[in-house]
Chain A
Amino acid sequence: MPIQHVDLARLSLQDALDLATLVEEEAHERYLELADQMDQHRTPEAARFFRFMAENEAKHGAELAERRRALFSDAPREVRRTMIFDVEAPDYDEARAFMTARAALDIALRCEEKAHAFFVEALPHIREPQVQALFAELRDEEVHHQELVRREIARLPADADTSGEAFVDDPAAQ
């Protein structure tokens, strides 16, 4: 389970909304990091896509944060970023210099699948009905996101036979 120090069986709706917001926040920041990496390594198409994903994650995060504010105002947050490990954020080792836009979309798809798997795995542990409803809603949203990404992938032309590795310089002795 990619969360630590959280007892799902006793999760309140406030904590659940905070947890979900932080999951989106982590994914937002990670996509921005990957976009920066792509910029550094002259891979603009993948950078553009990662920025697009970052915006989407930020939008979802803001929506969840707004719901939380409406219900619980400024009650102190107990869930922290240090408790969440790559629930929806891409793993760092997924990125590659010169990766294609299709490869970037494949990463996004795996992230949506990963997030879906998290909510599926978490749901049986949750007892609070409102939290169950929220997690079920988020689980279904991840399925919808997967469909959107798959649709985008289908619209892309197939990658050329040459992989990104072909553009990397051979090691040179000093």
Chain B
Amino acid sequence: MTTAVHQAGQTMEPREFKSDLKPIWCPGCGDFGVLQALYRALSAVGRPPHEIAFVSGIGCSSRIPGYTTAYGFNSVHGRALPIAQGIKIANPDLLVLVAGGDGDGFSIGGGHLPHAVRRNLDLTYVVMDNQIYGLTKGQLSPTSHRGLQTVTSGYGSLEEPVNPLLYTLAYGAGFVAQGTPADMPGLTSVIEEAIRFPGFAFVNVQSPCVTFGEAEWQLKAHKAQMKSLAGLGHDPADRLKAMALAAQYGEELYTGVFYRNPNPAPTYDALVVERQAELRDQALPRERILDLFRKDGGR
């Protein structure tokens, strides 16, 4: 037997995660590459589809759960993270992934993000950041750069964009990375790492909108301009350096892991299981649960 191939320990093929539903994204959309990277990352992780739940909000990229054979919930605009947290707490054994776009995650759902990060549930949040509202035909999004002309900013945006990398680092996320479908091995690798990280993991994917995005910021431009953090010698355990690099969002396209907490904190879902174990002796038997709602507390 040869030793030329370094085994990753996987047992599933990427195609086992692919559903029969055909993506209806515009040809050339960056999301096709993200979906392919997800299939490969899940294959490498090796958990079968019935042990995985995929939650999304609304938007082009939020169609992703339907394109996988995992459990899927294409939910309400901006509410993917609260729903995913509920699923994870109810069934901590599930591998829970969250997907969506920059509008869904940083505008409509922007208030949920810091709380999901600080609770530190073991979730992987993949945002397909295209700097535009594509599904609704090209309005300004929270990550659109200042000066961008769209149908809702005809003379150019007056706003500074959200910086997803810096925000999530500042909120305290234990794992923050960025990828682009222009670098499929790199994107697959950061998604796999994010899934394996024990805690809230955030992956910002620069996934250009081929129809309403800027013509000069498509995947060919990514290929020409992306810079690998590993290639720059960045130490992902250095949070302050990660923040300095993340501050260049919109100016530089860094790919790879910005920050990986070398001593991950216990996850909320693990703490809930612990608390349940501690309080098991004090719990009322199931048939007496309704007594809690009586004035005398069932005494």
Contact = CB atoms under 8 A, between A and B. Distances in A.
A12 interface: yes
Contact of A173 (B7, B25, B32, B151): B151
B263 interface: no
B27 A97 contact: yes
Nearest to A34: B27
Contacts of A145: none
B143 to A, nearest CB: 18
Contacts of A7: 4-6
Interface stretch (A81-89, A110-118, A133-141, A151-159): A81-89
Contact of B137 (A2, A43, A78, A174): A174
A82 B14 contact: yes
Contact of B4 (A12, A85, A168): A12
A96 B27 contact: yes
Q: Is the interface of B mostly helix, strand, loop or mixed?
A: loop
Contact of A37 (B27, B44, B150, B188): B27
A74 interface: no
Given A10-B3, A15-B5, A173 B152 contact: yes
Contacts of B26: 41, 97
B139 interface: yes
Contacts of B212: 171
A93 B14 contact: no
Contacts of B28: 92-97
Contact of B13 (A2, A37, A81): A81
Interface string B1-15: 111111110100111
B154 to A, nearest CB: 9
Interface string A35-71: 0111011010000000000000000000000000000
Given A173-B151, A174-B136, A93 B2 contact: no
B237 interface: no
Given A4-B185, A82-B10, A173-B152, A95 B4 contact: no
Given A6-B5, A12-B4, A92 B137 contact: no
Nearest to A97: B27
A34 B26 CA distance: 11
A110 B13 CA distance: 27
Interface string B126-138: 0000000000111
A81 B10 CA distance: 11
B184 interface: yes
A37 B1 CA distance: 41
Interface of B: 1-8, 10, 13-15, 22-30, 32-33, 36, 40, 43-44, 136-139, 150-152, 181-182, 184-185, 188, 208, 210-212, 218-220
List the 3 shortest-distance A-B pairs measured between CB atoms, nearest first: A95-B27, A10-B4, A171-B138
11 contacts: A10-B4, A15-B4, A36-B22, A38-B27, A80-B13, A92-B30, A93-B33, A95-B27, A173-B139, A173-B152, A174-B139
Interface of A: 2, 4-12, 14-15, 29, 33-34, 36-38, 40-41, 43, 78-83, 85-86, 91-97, 99, 168, 171-174
